[in-house]
Amino acid sequence: MALINTIREKSGWAVGAIVIGLLLFMVGGDLFTGQNSFFGRSDRSVGEIAGQEIDYDEFNATLEQAKQAFIQQQGRQPDEQAMGYLREQAWNQLLYRIAFQKQFEKLGLTVSDDEIYEMVQGTNINNLHPSIRQAFTDSTGQFSRANLQTYLRNLDKDPQAQATFTNFEQNLRPERLGQKYTNLLKMSTYVTSAEAKRFNEGMMAQVNLRYLFVPYFALSDSSVKVTDEQLQAYIDKNQGRFKVEDGRSIEYVSIPVTASVEDSTEISKTVNELATQFAAAPADSVFVKLNSDNPVAPAYLTAADMPEKLREQLPLQEGKVYGPYAENGTYSLYKVTGQKTGDQAAARASHILIKSEGTTPEADAAAKAKATEVLSKIKGGADFAAMARQYGSDGTTATGGDLGWFQQGRMVPEFEKAVFGASSLGLLPNLVKTSFGYHIIKVTAAPTKQTYRVATVQKSIQPTEGTRDAAYNKAQELKGQATDLESFRKAVAADKSLQKTEAKNLGRGDQAVNNLQDARALVRWAYGADDSEGPGAKEIGDVSRVFEIGDTYVVAVLTGERSKGTADLASIKPEITAQVRNELKAEQIKQKLSTSKGTLEQMAQAYGPAAQVKTADNVVLGQSMIAGVGSEPIAVGRAFGLKVGQKSAPIAGEQGVFVVEPTSVQPAPPTTDVAAARQQLTTQRAARTDGLIFEALKQNADVKDNRAKFF
C-alpha cells in the first residue's frame, strides 16, 4: 500500500502539470468530441473555446474528475472555496485541451506506444517518468526496478491501485505532447552574441552623476487641468497597456451579524450556571465533552502553558473552578482536578539584550561595556522596564523586556542556567553572555515544577436568532428603500450606522468581493445570473436582493459594466488621470528649465526652491535605479550617452524632470565569456515561455466564458 500511496501522491495533482501548472490530468477524446442531447443549446452553453462550444455536461464531467482527484489527494470533500479553484482548473483544462490540441494536430505531434512504455518501465532510467523514479525506490533511496516490476505484476490483485495507475498512464500521452510542443518553442529561444554583449555591458557599466531634479508633486494637481480629450488620446496611443477582461463594479452595504451586549449577558448567565454544575460534576472529561464548544481532554499544564487568566491565580486550588473569563469572544471555565511535580521547571523573567555590532573582539568589548553601564544604572535605581525600552535590541523592548513564562529547554543553555539557578527573585547581579549578546536579567517569578491538571469548558459568544433577525430586517429595510443607484446612496447616507463600500471591475470567476469571502452568489448577480432566489442585475442601477455571506447580510447596487477589449475612459479615468497630468507637468517644467543657463546649481536657483541638485554614485545601466528616487531608465540611459561634464536637456522621468551630468563613467570591461552571458539571458527568456505560450493561445482561442450563468 505504501507504493500505491506514493504513486497516488506523485500522480494525483502533479503528474501532467504543464504550462504553468494548469493541466493536472487529461481525459479521453470522447469526452471532448462526443455530442449529447444538450450540445449546441445556448441555455446549456458554459462558453466557447476556439470556435468549439463547451456544453454544461462536458464542463461538469471535467469538473467532477478534478473534484475526485481533490478528494483522493486531500482525503476530504472540497468546500465552496476549493470548488471555486476546481472550476477554474476544469475550465483551464478544457481551454488547454482544445486550444493546444489544434496546435498539436497542425504540427503533426504524436506520442508513440514505445515512448509510453519507456516512460513507465523502459530500460533506460533517464527515460522513466520522474514520478516513477521517485515512487519506486529501495532502502538506499535509489530507483528499484525490482520494486516497479513487482508492483506492475500485482496490479490486477488491487482494483483501486489498478485504477490509479491506469489514470496515471492516461495522463502521460497528453503530458508528453505538451512537453514536446513547449520544448519546440523553448528551443527556439536564441540570443545573439551582440545581445549577450549588450546584456553584460548593461550589468557591468556604471556612472557617477550629478543631477537636477524637479518632482512632479512640486506643481499642485489643481494647477494642471486634464481634459477627457487628452485622456482618450492617451488611451488610443497606449491601447496595448489597457487590454481588459469583462468586469462589473458595485457598491454594497455589509450588515454584520455580531453578538449584542444582551447576547453576551445571556451567554454569561448560561456559563455561570455551568460553573456551578462543573464544580459538582463527578466526571470532568464527560462534562467537558458535553458542554464545551471546543472540547479538549483535561491535561497537566505548567505555569508556562496555562492561559494568562488562570496563571494570574497561581497557586491554584485543587477542585476549584476558576472563571468565567471573557476573552476573544469566548467565555472560559477552568477546573483544577489534580496537581503533581512535573519533569521540567517553568519560570518568568525579563531581560535587556545588548548585541555586539560586529564579530571582532573590539565590538564584543564595546557591547559588554555598554551592558555593564546599563546594569549599573539599574542597580543604582533606574527602572528596569524603562532601560529595556531604551537599550534593548530584540522584540521584547515594547514590553519592557518581559519574556513571559517559559519552560526549561526553550531558551539557550547559558540563559536558562542563570534563570533556573537563581537563588531569589529580582535582578541578577552579573551579565549573562550567550550567542545573542549580553543579557541583563531580572527573574520575575520563581522557577517551579508544579503542574496542574486542568479541565476547560469554553462557550463562544454567539449572536442569538433575535440579533440575526434584527440584522436581516435592517438589510431588508435598506432593500425596500433602494430602487436604483440614487435612492440606494440616499438611504445609506441617511443612516449613519450603514457604511458603503465599492468593488470595481469584479471578474466573472471571482470568488471574493474585497474582504467578503465565498461571495460567488454576489458576483454572479452582478453578471446577470443568480440562483433560484432572484434574478441577476440587468442594467446599471439595479439593486440586489439581500445576500447572506457568512455572518454578514449584503445589499448591492450595480454601478458599472466593462466589456472585454480596450478599457473605456470612464472605467480607468482615475488611474490614467495622474499619468496624463504628470506628462503635462513635465512639459511645463521642461519649458521653464530650458530657459535657464549655466551650472546645475544656477539652473536650480533660477527655477526655484522645488529644483534640487543631488549626486548619485555607482548607477548601473542595466538596473536604472537612482538612489532616493527610484527606477528612472530614461534619465540613467541618457547619462551613459553623455560625455563627462556634459549636461543633458531636461528629461521627463517617472517621478519628475531631470537634467543629468555624469562626473565619471566606468565602461563595462570587454566581454570575455559571451557564452555565459548568452546562457544567462537565454535562461531568463525561456523561464517566461510557458506562461507566454498559454496566454498567446488563450488570446488566439477567442474565449467566451459564460460560467457565471451556472456557478
Q: CA 370: distance to chain centroid?
A: 42
Residues 126 and 30 in one domain: yes
Q: Are residues 512 and 579 in the same domain?
A: no
Q: Is 396 among the domain residues?
A: yes
Q: Take residue 461 and report the three cell numbers written for it.
A: 459568544
pLDDT at 31 over 60: no
Q: Which of 258, 248, 250 is nearest to 550 (CA)?
A: 258
Average pLDDT over residues 168-197: 86
Examine residue 686 and state whether it is found in any structural domain, yes or no. Answer: no
Assigned domain for 115 exists? yes
13 shares its domain with 121: yes
Asked whether residue 385 carries a pLDDT value surpassing 90, the answer given is yes
Task: Answer whether 535's CB lies under 8 Å from 526's CB.
Answer: no
pLDDT above 60 for 30: no
Element spanning 434, H or E = strand 432-434
Residue 640 has pLDDT above 60, yes or no: yes
Mean pLDDT of the chain: 86
Percent of the chain clearing pLDDT 90 (strictly above): 44
CA distance 215 to 197: 35
DSSP state of 543: B
Q: Are 268 and 395 in a shared domain?
A: yes
pLDDT at 24 (0 to 100)? 34
Mean per-residue pLDDT for 511-522? 90
Between residues 598 and 7, which one has the greater pLDDT? 598
Residue 124 located in a structural domain:
yes
pLDDT, tens digit, for every residue of 469-502? 999 999 999 999 999 999 999 999 999 999 999 9
Query: In terms of domains, do 131 and 236 share one?
Result: no
Among 462, 491, 508, the domain boundary falls at 462
Residue 37: pLDDT over 60: no
Asked if residue 29 has pLDDT above 70, the reply is no
Give residue 44's pLDDT: 82
User: In 96-242, where do the E strands start and end?
Assistant: 206-215
Residues 123, 181 share a domain:
yes
Instruction: Evaluate whether residue 334 is within a structural domain.
Output: yes
Confidence (pLDDT) at 472: 94
Query: Is 165 part of any domain?
Result: yes
Asked if pLDDT for residue 33 goes beyond 90, the answer is no
CA-to-CA distance for 595 and 659, rounded, in angstroms? 13
The answer to the question of residue 601 being in a domain is yes
pLDDT value of position 17: 36
Are 635 and 510 part of one and the same domain?
A: no
Please indicate, yes or no, whether residues 147 and 18 belong to a single structural domain of this protein.
yes
Domain that holds residue 33: 2-186
- For 230-276, write each residue's pLDDT tens digit: 999 998 898 888 888 888 999 999 999 988 888 888 888 989 999 99
**Helix H segments across 252-406?**
261-280, 284-291, 308-311, 361-379, 384-391
Is-contact 176 122, C-beta < 8 A?
no
Q: What is the pLDDT of residue 531?
A: 58
Q: Which of 192-196, 223-227, 494-498, 690-694 has the lowest mean pLDDT?
A: 690-694
Residue 212, strand partner residues: 613, 659
| 47-56, 161-170, 400-409, 577-586: least confident range | 161-170
Grid cell in block for residue 407? 519552560
**Are 301 and 425 found together in one domain?**
yes
**Same structural domain, 479 and 617:** no
Q: Are residues 343 and 433 in the same domain?
A: yes
Backbone dihedral angles phi then psi of residue 156, each to the nearest 5 degrees:
-70, -10
CA-to-CA distance for 657 and 594, rounded, in angstroms? 11
Q: Is the peptide bond before 324 cis (omega within 30 degrees of 0)?
A: yes
Band (pLDDT 50/70/90 cuts) for residue 388 is very high
Spatial separation of the C-alpha atoms in residues 352 and 401, rounded to whole Å: 6
User: What is the tens place of the pLDDT at every residue in 407-440?
Assistant: 988 899 999 999 999 888 999 999 999 989 999 9
Q: Report residue 18's pLDDT band, with 50, 70 and 90 as the boundaries.
A: very low
* Mean pLDDT of all residues in 510-531: 87
Residue 336 lies inside a defined structural domain of this protein: yes
pLDDT of residue 670: 84
Classify 243 as helix, strand or coil: strand
Model confidence over 523-535: pLDDT tens digits? Answer: 999 998 765 556 7
Cβ-based burial of 269 (10 A; exposed 0-12, middle 13-18, buried ≥19): exposed
pTM, rounded to two decimals: 0.58
Residue 202 confidence (pLDDT): 87
What CATH number is associated with residue 389? 3.10.50.40
The residues with which 215 forms a beta bridge, in sequence order, are 656
Tally of domains in the chain: 4
Cα distance between residue 521 and residue 527, in whole Å: 10
CA pair distance 306, 296, nearest whole angstrom: 14
**Measured distance CA(47)–CA(705) in Å, rounded:** 5
pLDDT digits (tens, 9 = 90+) for 553-603: 999 999 998 888 888 888 788 889 999 999 999 999 999 999 888 999 999
Q: Are 645 and 538 part of one and the same domain?
A: no
In the structure, how many helices (H) and strands (E) does the chain have? 24, 22
Selection from 17-31, 165-179, 556-570, 643-657 with the highest mean pLDDT: 643-657
Mean pLDDT of 31-42: 37
